[in-house]
Amino acid sequence: MARPVIAIVGRPNVGKSTIFNRIIGDRLAIVEDKPGVTRDRLYGTGEWNGKAFSIIDTGGIELEGEDAIMKSVRMQAELAIEEADVIVFMVDAKAGLTHADDEVAQLLFRSRKPVVLAVNKVDNDNRMDDVYEFYGLGFGAPVPISGSHGLGIGDLLDAAVERLPDPMEPEYDDDVIRVALIGRPNVGKSSLVNSLLGEERVIVSEVAGTTRDAIDTPFERDGQRYVLIDTAGMRKRGKVYETTEKYSVMRAMKAIERADVALVLINGQEGIIEQDKHIAGYAHEAGKAAIFVVNKWDVVEKGDKTMQQFERNIREHFLFMTYAPVVFLSALTKQRLHKLLPVVNHVSNQHAMRIQTHLLNDVVADAVAINPPPTDKGKRLKINYVTQVAVKPPTVVVFVNDPELMHFSYQRYLENKIRAAFDFEGTPIRIYTRRKSEED
């Protein structure tokens, strides 16, 4: 289910990032203690009063040159208008109402998006008098908050969540494989959709970011039904979005949340860049089946080992997704295109696979016999029982004498043994450790 989106907007130095961090706590969209996962505090997820949402921090965008600050403020507001369901407009009680605040307010009024006005740096009761001038912006009663002291955050979330729409999602039968095409701008997502469908169903352009909305395209091939979820792009007006590539992550998140399988498109001609890691990392964190699709392979200069070298590069850059297969193709010429859907079918099956409990326990017992858990301060981990509790992704609970004794390296060892025994290609595996109780 795609989460609704809250965006925090305001001029520089009003405390947007502090409030963002307060709201998400430690729940970053990409958090993984494995090498190769990029951490990015630009976006995250949160929950309040039982309602989950994604949140964007529009801070950190800086432009050089004349009127750089105003350009930055305008860009942030326009991005929020583009992406968000609800906008938190943040101003600064200490600085008072500024011309930049008025500029942002005008943009937000024209957007007709729900806006919650938050007055930050109201650190004590003496600052309450500074709040009143912001009534003049026309967004109703401002919410006084203090990011540094954590005051008023609950009131702010109450107001924002109240305005969020209910998540809407088309309903598909269980046997339909939902495939999200994700990747940075201009890697060929729309071209791949057209090639798979054999017709021009999605507008294709050489200009990055021409896909305007998330497009669901159902089709059937060899008796299997699919839905392609093409990542929404960004409207381009002039040069205002030249430095906004990070926001492709936000649209990728929306598509991933609704998918079974994520196709992580990489531009074979340009190679791997940091942004590819951001996008792939969210698919991993969301527990989706994944395939690396190296597109534009027709224009890559090739030698005897070009493909093997490119795959090695992928493995080195994406150490946290060694389970994901790699498919090389050209959406434009349809070279090797026939190889893609069989891999989609395979990883979808692995993602939904359930292993019988006795088989799972046999594999873990053999793994423990070959490599017993190390001792920790004279205590040794004892694994009592293992069971799979969920699919999509496969999720395993290991019941032990003391969860504190389960070192992450040994947990990874068990994951590798389970993966090797039952394949599980293309899907992450979740392993949780629980203390064995009398009821268990």
What is the rounded CA–CA span in Å between residue 392 and residue 21?
29
Does 10 belong to an annotated binding site?
yes
The CA-based dihedral angle spanning residues 244, 247, 251, 254, taken in that order and rounded to the nearest 10 degrees: -170
Does 187 belong to an annotated binding site?
yes
Give kind and range of the element (H or E) at residue 193.
helix 189-197
Does 288 belong to an annotated binding site?
no
Does 354 belong to an annotated binding site?
no
| 261 within 8 A of 178, measured Cβ to Cβ | yes
Does 260 belong to an annotated binding site?
no
Does 58 belong to an annotated binding site?
yes
Does 428 belong to an annotated binding site?
no
Does 150 belong to an annotated binding site?
no
Give the residue among 346, 347, 369 at the shortest CA–CA distance from 417. 369
3-state secondary structure of 227: strand
Does 123 belong to an annotated binding site?
yes
3-state secondary structure of 205: coil
Does 186 belong to an annotated binding site?
yes
- Taking the CA atoms of 12, 14, 19 and 21 in sequence, report the sign of the dihedral they define: positive
| 93 within 8 A of 122, measured Cβ to Cβ | yes
- End-to-end, the C-alpha distance of the chain in Å comes to 32
Does 391 belong to an annotated binding site?
no
Does 436 belong to an annotated binding site?
no
Does 13 belong to an annotated binding site?
yes
Does 333 belong to an annotated binding site?
no
Does 342 belong to an annotated binding site?
no
Does 183 belong to an annotated binding site?
yes
Does 293 belong to an annotated binding site?
no
Does 230 belong to an annotated binding site?
yes
Angle, vertex CA 77, rays to CA 205 and CA 265, nearest 5: 35
What is the rounded CA–CA span in Å between residue 145 and residue 119?
6
Does 59 belong to an annotated binding site?
yes
Does 52 belong to an annotated binding site?
no
3-state secondary structure of 423: coil
Does 205 belong to an annotated binding site?
no
Residue with tokens 């709040």: 131
Does 349 belong to an annotated binding site?
no
- Taking the CA atoms of 339, 340, 341 and 344 in sequence, report the sign of the dihedral they define: positive
Does 352 belong to an annotated binding site?
no
Residue 231 CB: number of other CB atoms within 10 A? 27
Q: Phi/psi class of residue 6: alpha, beta or left (left: φ > 0; alpha: ψ in -120 to 50)?
A: beta
What is the rounded CA–CA span in Å between residue 39 and residue 41?
7
Does 17 belong to an annotated binding site?
yes
Does 361 belong to an annotated binding site?
no
Q: Which residues contact 185 (CB under 8 A, 6 or more apart)?
A: 208, 209, 233, 234, 245, 248
Amino acid occupying residue 126: N
Does 195 belong to an annotated binding site?
no
Does 382 belong to an annotated binding site?
no
Does 303 belong to an annotated binding site?
no
Residue ranges of the binding site for GTP = 10-17, 57-61, 120-123, 183-190, 230-234, 295-298
Residue ranges of the binding site = 10-17, 57-61, 120-123, 183-190, 230-234, 295-298
